[in-house]
Amino acid sequence: MPEKQPGTVLFLGGCRSGKSRLAEEFVARHFRRPCYVATMIKGPDPELRERIDMQQKRRGDSWHLIEEPRDLGRILSSPHDFDVVLIDCLTLWLTNLLLADLSDHDIHLEADKFVQGITACPATVVMVANEVGLGIVPDAALGRRFRDLAGWLNQQVAEVSQRVIFIAAGLPIILKDE
């Protein structure tokens, strides 16, 4: 029996859990015309530049790259010739919205626009996000705000995803597979 075509997929896990690598491998296995949407763009931080360079090298030249720190809804609704769009990572996207000093209301509006883009996108959408709600309660108000918004965003995205895969220690755990 042939494997069914994958629908929208969310790879969720902790920092350094292997979620980005597994998402990239998933895309490479199932698609021919991939687009990688990076929500973090290269800046002056040498460690982050090294991480970005490592990920780009791992993916190779067959991926189209779009760097978009904020307007993911626009990316998904734009015409393109990709069969899959991999967005890495939603947690950094949320951080970018917080750093832009958006209110919670405005962040919710951006998330709604993004989710509408997911469901309307003609290509398969694969996303990577951090699960930040498994640790201690942050002692600072901004940390709690971030954790709460990230949890809410992950729930909203998981709801519209056909497949949700939790990554722990580099191992995938299927949470949802419709």
Which residue has tokens 């720190």?
69
This prediction has a pTM of 0.91
- Per-residue pLDDT tens for 93-135? 999 999 999 999 999 999 999 999 998 898 999 999 999 988 8
Sign of the four-CA dihedral 92, 33, 172, 177: positive
CB 90 within 8 A of CB 128: yes
CATH numbers and ranges of domains, the chain: 9-177 (3.40.50.300)
Cis preceding-peptide flag for 89 (omega within 30 of 0): yes
The DSSP output letter for 62 is T
- Per-residue pLDDT tens for 1-38? 344 456 899 999 998 899 999 999 999 999 999 999 99
Task: Copy the structure tokens of residue 82.
Answer: 């990709």
- The helix-helix angle for 104-120 and 90-99 (nearest 10°) equals 140
